[in-house]
Structure formats: C-alpha cells, structure tokens
C-alpha cells in the first residue's frame, strides 16, 4: 500500500471479469484503463488461489503505470501479500476490522453492504473506506442478487464515506444512480462485454460530468 495514495472519491470503478487467461486479462484491462477509472478491482471468482495471485500481481504494474489504485476482491491477505492498494470484502470474506488492522490506515477497504443499511453502519464503524450497495439492476454477474433501493444511497450519506453502486449498471442507467447519490459506479459486464469496451468506459466516466458533485444529496 502506498501511504501517499490519494484516490478520487467519485467516478468509474472498473471491476475485472472472470478471465482465465492472464495475458488476455491484461490486454482487456489495458484497453479500458486509459479511459480514466478511479479504481480497479481485481475479481475472479473462478480462478484458483495460485492463478488469482498471478493475475493480481500482473495487474499491479499496469495500474501503477496509469496511477489507478488496485483493490483485491474477497482476499485482504492476498492484498497484503502483494502490497496492493486495498481490498474489497463481502459478508463472508472476514472481519473488516481485522483487515483494516492488517492493511493499515492508508489502504482502501471496501465493504459490500448489499441492500442493508445496518451492514453499512457496521462497516463504517469497522474502518471501511467506502460502502457498496446493490444490485440496483438485473445483473448477469450475480443473477440471483437481491435488488437494492435508491434510498440506500441517500440514507447512508451520514457516514461521510463514498457510496458505490453496483449491479447491472450501464451508460444508460448510471445517471440515475449518480443523481441519487452514488459517488462511484462499479461495472463489469457493460464494459467488458460491450462491442467497444473503451467507448463504454468513457461513456460511464463522462456520466459524472453531467451532474455537478455540489448538487448531489449528502
């Protein structure tokens, strides 16, 4: 972790697809990282631990080249081993407080809060850097995920932490989430499955410019 890291708290949060081929994963991320995501999350639910270590390690130089922090999904121990910029934990991925202690005060520590405000309140108290809510729309990545209500983005503002929206987000529906209070939109499929991934990433990034941050609910 870089103690001097100052990550933007608003913008596109790029999440990697389940790509078994490391070289192809790097090529796919390289195609879109120049479009200005403020965070990259390495996520691969199907890979072995050894492949995850390999892929995350290979992604780090690319993210460093573009000055984009790299967050490791599910595994704060791997993030610590690789000295990545942080980790993102779901409800079954270990204690946030333990991860915060291990990763240090400067690491980015994200928490999945699903559709539950009490989870967000506990995550904030345990040292989370941001709160992730979703799924807001039908998602091919998690087809069985429960839907989150837009009110969560407003009601969690008191935490003072950035709020991440996830789940079925596209350039066409992201604006409503940003207007409702999302500071970041986390996206996999509508970028990496798009005919032109770079253009899709650019459209999602540019969606933030149409809604001044000063006008958003807090």
H, E, C per residue of 137-162:
CCCCCCCCCCCCCCHHHHHCHHHCCC
d(CA 99, CA 97): 5
Quick check: 191 and 172 in contact, CB under 8 A? no
Residues annotated as catalytic are 43, 112, 142
Contact 198, 12 (CB under 8 A): no
**Would residue 185 be called left, alpha or beta, if left means φ above 0 and alpha means ψ between -120 and 50 degrees?**
beta
Among residues 196, 152, 162, which one has the least CA distance to residue 39?
162
- Taking the C-alpha atoms of residue 139 and residue 9, their distance in angstroms, rounded to an integer, is 24
Give exposure, 170-188, as e/b (b: 16+ Cβ within 10 Å). Answer: bbeebbbbbbbbbbbbbbb
């Amino acid at each position: 972790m870089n103690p001097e890291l100052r990550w933007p708290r608003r913008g596109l949060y790029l999440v990697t697809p389940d790509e078994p081929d490391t070289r192809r994963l790097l090529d796919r991320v390289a195609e879109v990282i120049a479009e200005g995501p403020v965070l990259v999350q390495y996520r691969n639910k199907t890979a072995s631990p050894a492949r995850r270590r390999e892929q995350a390690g290979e992604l780090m130089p690319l993210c460093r080249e573009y000055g984009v922090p790299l967050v490791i999904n599910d595994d704060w121990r791997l993030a610590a081993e690789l000295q990545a910029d942080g980790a993102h934990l779901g409800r079954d991925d270990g204690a946030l407080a333990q991860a915060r202690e291990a990763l240090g005060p400067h690491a980015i520590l994200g928490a999945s809060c699903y559709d539950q405000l009490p989870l967000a309140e506990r995550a904030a108290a345990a040292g989370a850097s941001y709160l992730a809510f979703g799924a807001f729309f039908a998602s091919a990545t998690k087809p069985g995920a429960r839907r989150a209500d837009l009110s969560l983005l407003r009601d969690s503002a008191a935490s003072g932490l950035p709020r991440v929206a996830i789940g079925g987000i596209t350039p066409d529906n992201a604006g409503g989430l940003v207007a409702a209070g999302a500071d970041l939109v986390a996206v996999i499929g509508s970028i990496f499955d798009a005919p032109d991934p770079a253009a899709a990433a650019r459209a999602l990034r540019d969606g933030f410019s149409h809604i001044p941050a000063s006008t958003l609910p807090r």
